[in-house]
Structure 1
């Protein structure tokens, strides 16, 4: 199969990853090359998106940027919100312009908020509203996730989708840990008065990955969604059930990732160096755990792994409440780190549930006499649309997490306990939803992985 040339760039047609001969001959190599470059772009997007979770640790009267804790929480909320709102249009854009074309644009545009942050963070006395605007512009990095996941979702056969989506998302999520680790290195070596060093590290990376994407990635006609796919997905109840679950997993991951350093400063009076020493560990482990969630779900089913994850997250939140009451810094760090790992596993398992829902419907359509190729193509299209919607709603969960923290630590008691009680209640709701919708009614909601594969192979 040769890439077809059009006016807008290189396109590959007749993509059929379920055909074993095609997959082994050329499909696997092409899909993995695009996956690697997609991960790199998404990784940098996450780093730029979460940059302010690091920069606020540097902001102090010492460098002429003294803001209150409430204002600092606002600085991490704004990019989270913009990134969440951009996920739906980014998910649609990749189906309109192609994976390669959109990845080049979405990566290159990260230069705008990065250069703006570099310029103004070195100017003492810069007002808060300027940084809020720059943070809003940095929200474009959050949109990369949706376009990347929508693109990758159709490139791999169904039995590898959990792994592929987990690797793609986990590699992107590592961007949160990466920029926090860079922040730690800067604070440890140059002190807490040089935030520009953190930003400067990403300028050459953005240029390099933009060029690599332009030269090595492909556009796939299979990514182009069926007409009205997003509207159809919006009308589907599973879209909102899965989005609710994804708020609990990814909303927690990104919300905790953005707020962790500020939480340590507000809860225990940690210094910038102390905060930076711990903030990268949770996002790092959580990102690495995401592919594990996909792999476990490929084996046991996404619903079961998601249920176990939320039960464990509820228990982990109980540990945070205990640590807060006892004032135990060590227990608090351990509890949060475990929560990050669980959110990573839950991210992978929840996303695995998406193609499973529509694969079941494609099976039923084939059984009823519909064309198998058309049925499974429609399933891939709707899966991509739901991925974009769930990604957007899940990121809004991160906004909610930070708003709850801001309210909790901005109150008279300045304690995180009200926030943790709210999170605990939400996780328990997710446990009930998973049981009622995806386990109690499993035969009509989520097929066993092997059964899907058997039907797909005949299609």
Structure 2
């Protein structure tokens, strides 16, 4: 028996190493209790970190393929006969497909196993990459480009299954950091493929987009093979359609969907549209645009784990509220720069927006498991029973929340399309985004922070330990999310 197989088959939450039943002959771990500090220290952390590393690799390449067409449009000059407004819609196609796929991808982890589904989902990335290499040339119809771009949406689905899987591996006290690292490492796939596009345009020229695709085919194969060799399935994460229904009935799921739409929807929407905005609003060439577009997504990706870490320490709701306020200020800078047509000021404001979306992505995703864990405690559950309840609902909710957040990227690209069609500028679109951030900040304060602050004051005044109940018709309030 190999060391990896022994590790997978024989470790149990109490640290013992007796033989356990294997499921379907794969790398299945039958018992998993990360909330047990002894198990986590002796066994769990090592296994979880290994799975996190290879989850990040697969998700990273998935994000690259998801954002593939934000790079391909930079290669599509006048000879392709595609108008600027049509390009915004083209890059929006993977966004909407990826958003829809996030729901089934979430539950595929429970159906097939996290390791098994990572292998499958990584291998599926070969489809949009190979088909794009076949059709990417002048003379191809716009409809064909739309259909092929839609195939890249499978890369967006990877995020949901990866986050759901890693959420199950880590204890609540570590989820902000772990989910931030997983998502941040994946998000970096956006600037990496943009940098590769810049390199190709700067060296081989805009007539050779297939070089970008040729680089990713072997990387996809490597990601699938590594997942097969080094990742594990968690048997306790069983298929549970009831969890999806329970999560959908939870008001918090939809509140958090709105907040994540404001953070991740902005990140992915801006990532896909940045190059086109620079070309259409500031008359940048494809090479000039490509030399700038990677900066924002790169910084936003790198800082996402910081958002999770800050949320672990200070509470996700507090970090999220401050983040939306800062996003509003940065959007104001972008609106001003758009009005006076200052590229330097525009870049400062827009890159600040990217950084803030990354922070907000980390803090909002930290809130999700915290909300459902707190809900379990309010129901009188304790110990592993409470942890299992929190994992069950938070894992299901992540798929729904991630799907809505991804669709925010579609909304941003459609807003830019309409803005340039009507006004010849992105300014009206940015004004609408500012309104969205104001609403998200107000919701964060109203649902999570204001009632929690009031409950603490009442507890201090009355000398009681429990928080006040939520207002009628409003989701339960949790002070520590």
TM-score by length of 2: 0.90
CA-to-partner distance for each residue in 1:122-154, whole Å, 9 max, x for gaps?
x33111111111111110000000000000001
After superposition, the CA RMSD in angstroms is 1.3
Matched, 1:224 2:238: yes
Counterpart Cα distance in 1 of 2:165 and 2:431: 37
Residue 32 of structure 1 deviates from its aligned partner by: 0.5
**Which residue number corresponds to residue 42 of structure 2?**
25
Residue 447 of structure 1 deviates from its aligned partner by: 4.2
Q: How does 1:331-370 map to 2 (within 5 A)?
A: 331-365=345-379, 368=380, 370=381
Q: Could you tell me whether the CA contact under 8 Å between 1:47 and 1:141 is conserved in 2?
A: yes
- Report which stretch shifted further, 66-75 or 319-328: 66-75
SS in 2 for 1:222: coil
CA-to-partner distance for each residue in 1:364-393, whole Å, 9 max, x for gaps?
23xx3x453222201111010111111000
Q: Could you tell me whether the CA contact under 8 Å between 2:35 and 2:384 is conserved in 1?
A: no
Q: How does 1:42-191 map to 2 (within 5 A)?
A: 42-61=59-78, 64-121=79-136, 123-191=137-205
Counterpart Cα distance in 2 of 1:72 and 1:37: 33
Counterpart Cα distance in 1 of 2:441 and 2:349: 20
Q: What is the aligned length?
A: 442
CA-to-partner distance for each residue in 1:418-437, whole Å, 9 max, x for gaps?
10110000000011100000
SS in 2 for 1:117: helix
Q: How does 1:440-459 map to 2 (within 5 A)?
A: 440-442=450-452, 445-448=477-480
CA-to-partner distance for each residue in 1:282-314, whole Å, 9 max, x for gaps?
000000111000000000000000000000000
CA-to-partner distance for each residue in 1:20-41, whole Å, 9 max, x for gaps?
1111111111001100110011
Q: How does 1:249-260 map to 2 (within 5 A)?
A: 249-260=263-274
Q: Could you tell me whether the CA contact under 8 Å between 2:265 and 2:407 is conserved in 1?
A: yes
Counterpart Cα distance in 2 of 1:371 and 1:190: 61
**Which residue number corresponds to residue 387 of structure 2?**
376
User: Which of 50, 56, 63 is residue 39 of structure 1 equivalent to?
Assistant: 56
Counterpart Cα distance in 2 of 1:334 and 1:299: 29
Q: How does 1:278-317 map to 2 (within 5 A)?
A: 278-317=292-331
Q: Could you tell me whether the CA contact under 8 Å between 2:33 and 2:384 is conserved in 1?
A: no
Counterpart Cα distance in 2 of 1:191 and 1:227: 50
**Which residue number corresponds to residue 4 of structure 2?**
none
**Which residue number corresponds to residue 437 of structure 1?**
447
Q: Could you tell me whether the CA contact under 8 Å between 2:261 and 2:404 is conserved in 1?
A: yes
Counterpart Cα distance in 2 of 1:118 and 1:5: 42
**Which residue number corresponds to residue 422 of structure 1?**
432
SS in 1 for 2:236: helix
Counterpart Cα distance in 2 of 1:233 and 1:307: 24
Which consecutive aligned stretches of 4+ in structure 1 deviate over 6 angstroms post-superposition?
A: none
Which segments of 5 or more consecutive residues in structure 2 lack a partner in the other structure?
1-6, 10-20, 453-466, 468-475
Q: Could you tell me whether the CA contact under 8 Å between 2:58 and 2:122 is conserved in 1?
A: yes
Counterpart Cα distance in 1 of 2:366 and 2:240: 21
Residue 66 of structure 1 deviates from its aligned partner by: 2.9
Counterpart Cα distance in 2 of 1:14 and 1:359: 20
CA-to-partner distance for each residue in 1:192-239, whole Å, 9 max, x for gaps?
111111111100000011011011110002332545001101000000
User: Which of 382, 385, 389 is residue 400 of structure 2 equivalent to?
Assistant: 389
Q: Could you tell me whether the CA contact under 8 Å between 2:273 and 2:413 is conserved in 1?
A: yes
SS in 2 for 1:126: coil
User: Which of 201, 211, 214 is residue 200 of structure 1 equivalent to?
Assistant: 214
SS in 1 for 2:188: helix
User: Which of 282, 290, 307 is residue 268 of structure 1 equivalent to?
Assistant: 282
Residue 340 of structure 1 deviates from its aligned partner by: 0.2
Larger radius of gyration: 2
Counterpart Cα distance in 2 of 1:113 and 1:338: 32
SS in 2 for 1:441: helix
Counterpart Cα distance in 2 of 1:7 and 1:350: 36
**Which residue number corresponds to residue 456 of structure 1?**
none
Counterpart Cα distance in 1 of 2:59 and 2:477: 30
309 and 268 in structure 1: CA distance in 2 versus 1, 3 angstrom threshold = same
**Which residue number corresponds to residue 452 of structure 1?**
none
SS in 1 for 2:72: helix
Residue 2 of structure 1 deviates from its aligned partner by: 4.2
